[in-house]
C-alpha cells in the first residue's frame, strides 16, 4: 500500500493551534507562512503541532497576495462610503503587522445579504471577523450565530443587547462638540439631518442631539432622518427650504450628508456659513473637498482600527475573555462651513 493518508480536520482554527503550541496567534501565522521574526525552532514546533491537530493553512488570502498569512474578514454596509474606505485601510495596516490578511465583503446595508456574507466568511474558514451591523435589531440572529462560530468584533455600529465585543466612537461626545461649536458662533435654531433609527449610530446621534438641545435650552426643531447618503442630504435641504426660513445651523449625521446639504444650499443660492452653518461627522476626505471646506467631527480612525484589532486577537486567543466595549473620543476640525474665510 502507499504512504499513510492524513485526513485534515476542517474545524481546526489558528487560535487552537496557537493554544496547543503555547504561542500567540501572530506567531503561528508567521511560522506557517514563512514570515520573519520567528526562530527556526519555534517554526518547527508550530508546524509539528499544526500537523498533529490537522490544521489546514487557510488559502483564502493566498489568492490576493503570495506568501499571505491567516485571513480576517470584514463586513461593511456601504463600501463606497469614504468612512468605511478609510477604516478598512487602517484595519489592513494593523492586521498586516500581526501577519493577517483582510477579505472585504459589502452587505449593501441589507440584513439578508449581511447574513449571506457572514456565512460565506465562516464557510471559508476565516480566523476572525469584523462586522458593521446593518440593523441595530434585525442583524441580531446572523451576528450572534457568527460570534458563536468565529471570533467576532462589532465595529462602528452594534446590535442592541448582543453580548459581543464592540469598538466605536463616542457619538454623544461628537454631537455635543458640533452643537457646542455652532452655538458658540451664534446659532440658536439648530436642526439635525442624520441617519434614522435602523442603525445604532443613527439612534445614538439622535438621542445625543436631543439631549444637548434640551440641556442648552435651544428651541426644538423638526429634525430630518433618512440614510447616510449624499442624496439624502440634498433632499433634506429641499425640505428645509420648503418649510420657510432656514435654521441657523445644520448638524449632519455624517460627511456624505453634509456634502449633499452644502451642494443643495449652493444650488438654491444660499451661502454657507453666512445663511446657515453646516457640520459633518467622520472626518473623511469629503470634508476637504467640500466648498466651503467642512467643519466636521473627526473619528480617530487609527485608534479605532488598533483597538478593534487588539479586541479580535484577544478574542481569538481567549474565547472566554470578558467582552470589550470601547468608546473612543472624537475631535472637532473647524473649517469654513461654520467660520467665514478670512479676507485680505
Q: What CATH number did the domain enclosing 320 receive? A: 3.40.50.2300
Q: Are 155 and 192 in contact (CB under 8 A)?
A: no
Note whether 187 and 206 are same-domain residues: yes
For residues 343 and 297, what is the distance between their CA atoms, to the nearest angstrom?
25
The residue to which cell 467631527 is assigned? 297
Note whether 156 and 178 are same-domain residues: no
Residue 62: inside a domain: no
- Residue 301, all three cell numbers: 480612525
What confidence tens digit (pLDDT) does each residue in 145-167 have? 999 999 999 999 999 999 999 99
List the chain pLDDT tens, one digit each, 344 residues.
333 333 334 456 777 787 888 887 777 777 776 655 677 788 788 888 877 777 755 443 333 333 345 899 999 999 999 999 999 999 999 999 998 999 999 999 999 999 999 999 999 989 999 999 999 999 999 999 999 999 999 999 999 999 999 999 999 999 999 999 999 999 999 999 999 999 999 999 999 999 999 999 999 999 999 999 999 999 999 999 999 999 999 999 999 999 999 999 999 999 999 999 999 999 999 999 999 999 999 999 999 999 999 999 999 988 889 999 999 999 999 999 998 765 44
Domain boundaries, position 254 = 171-299+332-338
Residue 344: inside a domain: no
Note whether 256 and 181 are same-domain residues: yes
Note whether 124 and 227 are same-domain residues: no
- Backbone φ and ψ for 319, nearest 5 degrees, come out as -60, -20
Residue 1: inside a domain: no
Residue 163: inside a domain: yes
Residue 95: inside a domain: yes
Note whether 157 and 305 are same-domain residues: yes
- Backbone φ and ψ for 229, nearest 5 degrees, come out as -135, 150
Note whether 228 and 201 are same-domain residues: yes
Note whether 41 and 97 are same-domain residues: no
158 three-class SS: coil
Q: Are 122 and 65 in contact (CB under 8 A)?
A: no
Q: What is the 3-state composition of the chain as percent helix, strand, coil, each rounded to the nearest 5?
A: 45, 15, 40
Residue 5: inside a domain: no
Note whether 181 and 266 are same-domain residues: yes
Note whether 36 and 87 are same-domain residues: no
Note whether 214 and 110 are same-domain residues: no
* Structural domain count of the chain: 3
Residue 2: inside a domain: no
Amino acid at each position: 500500500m502507499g504512504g499513510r493518508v492524513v485526513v485534515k480536520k476542517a474545524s481546526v482554527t489558528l487560535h487552537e493551534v496557537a493554544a496547543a503550541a503555547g504561542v500567540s496567534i501572530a506567531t503561528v501565522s508567521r511560522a506557517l507562512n514563512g514570515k520573519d521574526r520567528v526562530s527556526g525552532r519555534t517554526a518547527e514546533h508550530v508546524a509539528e503541532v499544526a500537523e498533529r491537530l490537522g490544521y489546514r493553512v487557510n488559502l483564502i488570502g493566498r489568492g490576493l497576495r503570495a506568501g499571505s498569512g491567516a485571513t480576517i474578514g470584514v463586513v461593511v454596509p456601504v463600501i463606497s462610503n469614504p468612512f468605511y474606505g478609510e477604516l478598512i485601510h487602517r484595519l489592513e495596516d494593523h492586521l498586516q503587522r500581526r501577519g493577517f490578511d483582510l477579505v472585504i465583503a459589502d452587505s449593501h446595508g441589507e440584513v439578508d445579504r449581511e447574513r449571506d456574507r457572514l456565512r460565506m466568511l465562516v464557510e471559508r474558514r476565516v480566523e476572525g471577523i469584523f462586522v458593521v451591523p446593518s440593523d441595530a435589531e434585525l442583524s441580531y440572529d446572523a451576528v450572534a450565530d457568527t460570534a458563536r462560530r468565529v471570533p467576532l468584533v462589532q465595529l462602528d455600529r452594534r446590535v442592541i443587547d448582543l453580548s459581543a465585543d464592540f469598538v466605536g466612537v463616542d457619538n454623544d461626545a461628537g454631537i455635543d462638540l458640533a452643537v457646542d461649536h455652532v452655538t458658540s458662533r451664534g446659532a440658536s435654531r439648530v436642526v439635525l439631518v442624520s441617519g434614522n433609527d435602523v442603525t445604532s449610530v443613527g439612534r445614538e446621534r439622535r438621542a445625543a442631539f436631543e439631549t444637548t438641545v434640551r440641556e442648552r435650552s435651544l428651541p426644538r426643531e423638526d429634525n430630518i432622518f433618512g440614510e447616510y447618503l449624499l442624496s439624502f442630504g440634498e433632499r433634506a435641504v429641499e425640505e428645509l427650504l420648503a418649510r420657510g426660513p432656514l435654521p441657523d445651523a445644520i448638524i449632519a449625521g455624517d460627511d456624505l450628508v453634509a456634502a449633499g446639504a452644502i451642494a443643495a444650499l449652493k444650488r438654491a443660492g444660499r451661502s454657507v456659513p453666512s445663511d446657515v452653518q453646516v457640520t459633518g461627522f467622520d472626518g473623511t476626505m469629503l470634508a476637504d473637498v467640500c466648498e466651503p471646506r467642512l467643519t466636521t467631527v473627526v473619528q480617530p480612525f487609527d485608534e479605532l482600527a488598533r483597538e478593534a484589532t487588539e479586541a479580535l486577537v484577544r478574542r481569538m486567543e481567549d474565547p472566554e475573555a470578558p467582552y470589550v466595549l470601547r468608546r473612543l473620543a472624537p475631535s472637532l476640525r473647524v473649517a469654513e462651513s461654520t467660520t467665514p474665510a478670512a479676507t485680505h
